[in-house]
Amino acid sequence: MRLLRYEDGGRAVAGVRLGDQVVPLSALAGVPDDPVAVLAGGAALWAKVTAAASASPARKPAAGLKRLMPIERPGKVICIGLNYALHAKEGGNPIPDYPAVFLRVQSSLVGPDAPMLRPGCSTKLDYEAELAVVIGSTARCVSEAGALAHVGAYSLFNDGSVRDYQRKSTQWTMGKNFDATGAFGPELVTPDELPAGAAPLRISARVDGMTVQDSTTGDMIFSVARCISILSEVMTLEPGDVIATGTPSGVGYARKPDPLFLKPGMTVEIEVESVGVLRNSVADDPAFAK
């Protein structure tokens, strides 16, 4: 099942996509009009939604819809750093035996097809292709063996990073939380459509059509299950929380001989096999023009 949110007549609508058609959740009797609630309902509700949508006449073409972030306000956005060996090496970092973890705030997020904003205080906005995991059921102190049962969906994330601010201290928070730098979407894909743990799937990034990252989620140092288990030891993971699972090698700052940083007018595409494509343009943040 593939859930999404889109704009219709100036209002946000949640829907399920069936091929090239979209059915609003509000048209389905007995179905929550909220993607997170649908994910939290588990496989039985997913089957009910799919069956009801397949029989519903309330359809519209998916093409041309203005997509929104698939979750309006994710609870926690937890990011895993240095989770691909070659990416760790390209930055001169040792292979970690425990994941680097940081958080993103709500204002740092932006939806599909919306511009990622380059702040006026830096020219070093970088891209990072990532698989996103959306929690479907509460997880606390879960084992790695049982962790995947708590996955509600997978999606895509572009962990846009302002590199000079990321390195102003040993903590990465500032460089990872500029407004509208972290892109998320466009759909929530339930795990029954993908291999266990969403691996191995090809993951790539393109800037203006040029492939700059190309790897597989099977190369993660810490698998999806391992990430959930480690995080749940520390914090309660709740439905709608998002885990961005790290990026492969090929990021802009490490490219040789010349780094590749994002500039206004560029387009970035993040793709994970069988999950979809997340596309965003790049623009200057108008707040700095004041």
What tokens were used for 215? 């790897």
Provide the pLDDT for residue 89: 85
Mark whether 122 and 262 lie in a shared domain: yes
When pLDDT is cut at 50, 70 and 90, the band that residue 210 belongs to is: very high
Mark whether 50 and 128 lie in a shared domain: no
Mark whether 84 and 57 lie in a shared domain: no
Mark whether 61 and 200 lie in a shared domain: no
The residue from 19, 35, 68 where one domain ends is: 68
Mark whether 42 and 108 lie in a shared domain: no
Domain that holds residue 51: 2-68
Mark whether 42 and 143 lie in a shared domain: no
pLDDT in tens, 81-140: 999 998 888 888 888 999 999 999 999 999 999 999 999 999 999 999 999 999 999 999
**Mean pLDDT over the full length of the chain:** 97
The residue from 50, 68, 86 where one domain ends is: 68
Mark whether 217 and 83 lie in a shared domain: yes
| Closest of 271, 280, 281, 225 to residue 248, by C-alpha | 271
Mark whether 136 and 237 lie in a shared domain: yes
pLDDT in tens, 139-167: 999 999 999 999 999 999 999 999 999 99
Provide the domain count of the chain: 2
pTM (two decimals) = 0.97
CB 71 within 8 Å of CB 134: yes
Mark whether 21 and 128 lie in a shared domain: no
What tokens were used for 264? 């206004």
Mark whether 195 and 104 lie in a shared domain: yes
pLDDT in tens, 38-60: 999 999 999 999 999 999 999 99
3-state secondary structure the chain: CEEEEEEECCEEEEEEEECCEEEEHHHCCCCCCCHHHHHHCHHHHHHHHHHHHHHCCCCEECCCCEEECCCCCCCCEEEEECCEHHHHHHCCCCCCCCCEEEEECHHHEECCCCCEEECCCCCCEECCEEEEEEECCCECCCCCCCHHHHEEEEEEEEECEEHHHHCCCCCCCHHHCCCCCEEEEEEEECHHHCCHHHCCCEEEEEECCEEEEEEEHHHECCCHHHHHHHHHHHCCECCCCEEECCCCCCCHHHCCCCCCCCCCCCEEEEEECCCEEEEEEEEECHHHHC
Mark whether 85 and 46 lie in a shared domain: no
CATH number at residue 164: 3.90.850.10
The residue from 29, 46, 68 where one domain ends is: 68
Mark whether 54 and 191 lie in a shared domain: no
Which of 266-287 are b and which e, b meaning 16 or more Cβ less than 10 Å from the residue's Cβ? bebbbbbeebbebbbebbebee
Write the CB contacts of 14 (distance below 8 Å, at least 6 apart in sequence).
3, 4, 5, 24, 25, 26, 33, 34, 35
Provide the pLDDT for residue 78: 98
pLDDT in tens, 236-259: 999 999 999 999 999 999 999 999
| Closest of 115, 100, 281 to residue 173, by C-alpha | 100
| Closest of 147, 190, 187 to residue 46, by C-alpha | 190
Mean pLDDT within 272-282: 98
Using CA atoms, how far residue 145 sits from 217, 227, 240, in Å, is 18, 12, 21
What single letter denotes the amino acid at residue 202?
R
